[in-house]
Chains A and B, each alone.
Chain A
Amino acid sequence: MATGSETQAKGRDDAPNWASPDRALRVGEMPAGAINRNVAGRRLVGPVQGFGQLWQKTYRIRMDGVTVAPTDVIREWKANYASYWPKGNRFYAPVAGLQLGDVALINAASLGGVQLSTGVRMIYADDESFTFMNAAGHPAAGMITFSAEREPGDPVYAQVQVLIRANDPFYDALLPVYGQRAEDAMWTKTLRALAAHFGATGEVTIQRALVDRRRNWSEAKNIWQNAAIRSGLYMFAAPIRWARRLVARAR
């Protein structure tokens, strides 16, 4: 990202850590099998653009006995991010590896057997953290930050912090019955898998803070881009597409 020499002159320079703004998401070359639907051409959505209540949730694991530095934890996490995801969910980084500014695809198991297709973009990365922002249509509008740290005399802690709203009324309605539980399971399993990679076991602590209890009714229109509904419609329309192809071939 472009920056003035002014920032550099004052000390720490954050310019290399931020992606450039992009009006529409661009998806690079993806591995075979990745479903690129509901992502390319869409915008990112932050906590301001979402519909539901704004939550900040912090998932944290203490990695006792781990001697590597937090920077090593983050390097590994970033490089092999997909491998720490729970079964049934797929995260596709570009073939060349996930770099700052890249868009990644998510093909996740969802309610009713629907394969949810959506995506995220890495908008921030430094030595001890990296942040994703979600594509429009993703269940959550907001940012997810992955970090590792070590206080003097303490072991390494790995952390996932989400600052999100349900993206639209559909996802908001599902949050208490499915979304919250699914999210907690997702990040708890991810952190346990990461800790296990470094030979550590530990319990994941979860802190929840309701930052804004109001709903953004002006963003209810986000439902038109709902990736779960669109993925579901696409899936259930498969027999129709198959029949059409059959008819076209017969002609």
Chain B
Amino acid sequence: MTQAVGKSDMHVRRIDEATSVVEIRGEITAGSEKPLMDAYAEACGAKTRAVILDFGRLDYMNSGGIGLLVTLLVRANRQKQRLAAFGLNEHYRQIFELTRLDEAIGIFTDEGSAVAGAKA
């Protein structure tokens, strides 16, 4: 299912009962809170242990977007879930490194390794 507000568009896929992928399309700013949190809620089932963020179609992110990812990380940790990411280009990888989010959200090159890594 798709959650779309403004220029943010989130699409959720279930890999299995323990793992979901949230595709982030467009932008992440402070204004993306509702679609991102709605997508996260949709990605979560009773047995979900890992939520994987697909940044392959991310076009734009500001510092408000980083704040939103921190909030999402807190929610996932509270549910004892792992948060992982893939599809980050070099620019967004550098932003994760700059803000040190990469120390809390596992970064992978593709979906396969993200799913395997999140389950490890």
Interface residue ranges, A against B (CB under 8 Å) = 1-4, 6-7, 10-15, 17-22, 43-49, 54, 56, 123-124, 126, 129, 131, 133, 143, 145, 161, 163, 211-212, 214
The docked-state distance in angstroms from the alpha carbon of A3 to that of B31 is 24
Task: Find out whether the CB atom of B91 lies under 8 angstroms from the CB atom of A48.
Answer: no
Q: Is B71 an interface residue (CB 8 A)?
A: yes
Q: Closest A-chain residue to B58, C-beta based?
A: A7
Q: Is B99 an interface residue (CB 8 A)?
A: yes
* 6 A–B pairs (Cβ distance < 8 Å), ordered by A: A2-B91, A11-B59, A14-B62, A18-B91, A44-B98, A211-B71
CB distance from A211 to the nearest CB of B (A): 6
The docked-state distance in angstroms from the alpha carbon of A124 to that of B27 is 16
Q: Is B64 an interface residue (CB 8 A)?
A: yes
Most B CB contacts (10 A, CB to CB) among A1, A12, A46 go to: A46
Q: Is B18 an interface residue (CB 8 A)?
A: no
Q: Knowing A18-B98, A49-B103, say if A2 contacts B59 (CB, 8 Å).
A: no
Interface residue tally for chain B (C-beta within 8 Å)? 27
User: Binary interface profile of B, 92-112, with partner A (CB < 8 Å = 1, else 0)?
Assistant: 001101111101100000000
By a CB distance below 8 angstroms, the chain A residues around B63 are 123-124, 129, 131, 143, 145
By a CB distance below 8 angstroms, the chain B residues around A133 are 98-99
CB distance from A119 to the nearest CB of B (A): 16
Most B CB contacts (10 A, CB to CB) among A22, A126, A211 go to: A211
Task: Find out whether the CB atom of B89 lies under 8 angstroms from the CB atom of A1.
Answer: no
Task: Find out whether the CB atom of A44 lies under 8 angstroms from the CB atom of B74.
Answer: no
Partner of A18, one of B27, B59, B89, B95: B95
By a CB distance below 8 angstroms, the chain B residues around A123 are 63, 98-99
Q: Closest B-chain residue to A13, C-beta based?
A: B60
**Which B46-64 residues have a C-beta within 8 angstroms of A?**
59-64
Leading 5 A-B pairs by shortest Cβ distance: A3-B91, A131-B63, A21-B98, A124-B63, A21-B97
The docked-state distance in angstroms from the alpha carbon of A97 to that of B80 is 45
Task: Find out whether the CB atom of B103 lies under 8 angstroms from the CB atom of A48.
Answer: yes
CB distance from A1 to the nearest CB of B (A): 6
The docked-state distance in angstroms from the alpha carbon of A161 to that of B71 is 14
User: Binary interface profile of B, 73-89, with partner A (CB < 8 Å = 1, else 0)?
Assistant: 11001100000000001
The docked-state distance in angstroms from the alpha carbon of A214 to that of B77 is 10
